[in-house]
Structure 1
């Protein structure tokens, strides 16, 4: 049998080491999160500046207040995926063009809060599973993801210093099943953005990552 040269042996050892390193990097164990949650538990977030904007028509739906209830479990070495959960969302006194008033109903709950990156004191992430329905005088519409019936993922930030969860108005939220006098103001398939700053109470939740 032909003997391996020193160079070949060295190459094999080096290749094996690289393969092992790649394998470790891709393994679920090393892909585990490094997030820490402190001051968690159940919280309520209140917004007084929530607004939904149709990016195509410019139509805006504004609400005088919105309240979100959620929870986050304390711990270290946590995955950023589903680091917190939003179990209920309500909106109060919502109106749009022509003085139309709306009722807004959250759907697809619970929604998952996902941490993506951290630059002290701010965590940047997403809120996934988002769906909602509006109904007004002769106007109804659904809101969800990029295809009818799907859930949306929207961009958020959480500030440890102010304990505020800010919904940024970006993501893949769309209007669907638009009917009645909403047509032309909102249209099925239109991309929409939702913004709002939710001040958390109690003001104790802290999300960190190295």
Structure 2
């Protein structure tokens, strides 16, 4: 069973090629090769309610993104995630869930670089979860706002690993008391990118 989303439930996603920083000055210059269209594929993808320990686990997820290529890049919106798909998602008590987002456009902003690893955040994340007797939305620290997740892209393995950030769950309906509106949640996944990118910064 495949579900469109972007959380990245990054994203959920997630999947472009270089990660990012949320608010910064973008003083550094970046070089990305080759740039263009990129697909990221992850195995187990997890969204966990940090307060209750309840989690939604998908057997795999896939994202598509467009990445800037060339040199002298600012790092701002260096990649844009345009879609995300989640497969075989189960939540608390084994309930099957779907994860959906509309108008996916998650911005990846490059932040810092060291020893072949780029760090930063993936911004503008929202998602909707739905299953039998349980539904909720995912976003930022205030209801109705988008959230962000942190990540690292490693040149040698072509892997974008995402975790942390400021995601929270909202508008919980049902869910057997295992999810609570306002709880912080974590999103964890590692996306192998194809084609692989090389990202550097002085």
Specify the TM-score bucket, using the shorter chain as the normaliser.
Answer: 0.7 to 0.9
Partner in structure 2 of residue 206 of structure 1: 198
Deviations 1:53-89 (A, max 9, x none): 1100000110001000001121211111211110001
Per-residue displacement from partner, 1:180-206 (whole Å, max 9, x unpaired)? 2x1521110000000000011122x11
Aligned with 2:115 (options 116, 120, 123): 120
Which deviations, in whole Å up to 9, do the C-alpha atoms of 1:115-136 show, x marking residues without a partner? 1100121100100000111100
The structure with higher relative contact order (CA 8 Å, sep 6+) is 2
Segments of 5+ residues of structure 1 without an aligned counterpart are: 1-29
Shift of 1:33: 3.9
The equivalent of 1:165 in structure 2 is 160
Q: Does 1:185 align with 2:178?
A: yes
Q: Tell me how far apart the structure 2 counterparts of residues 70 and 159 of structure 1 sit (CA, whole Å).
A: 17
Change (3 A) 1:140 1:31: closer
- Matched-pair contact (CA < 8 Å) for 2:75–2:110: yes
Name the TM-score, length of structure 2 as normaliser. Answer: 0.84
Post-superposition offset of 1:39: 1.4
Aligned residues: CA RMSD: 1.4
How far does residue 172 in structure 1 lie from its aligned partner after superposition? 0.5
Q: Which has the higher helix share?
A: 1
- Change in CA separation of 1:130 and 1:81 when aligned onto 2, cut-off 3 Å: same
Runs of 4+ with >3 A deviation = 30-33
Give 3-state SS (helix, strand or coil) of 2:101's partner.
strand
TM-score, normalised with respect to structure 1? 0.81
1:153 and 2:148 aligned = yes
- Which of these two proteins has the greater Rg computed from alpha carbons? 1
Write the mapping of 1:1-210 to structure 2, written as runs, cut at 5 A. 32-107=27-102, 109-168=104-163, 170-180=164-174, 182-203=175-196, 205-210=197-202
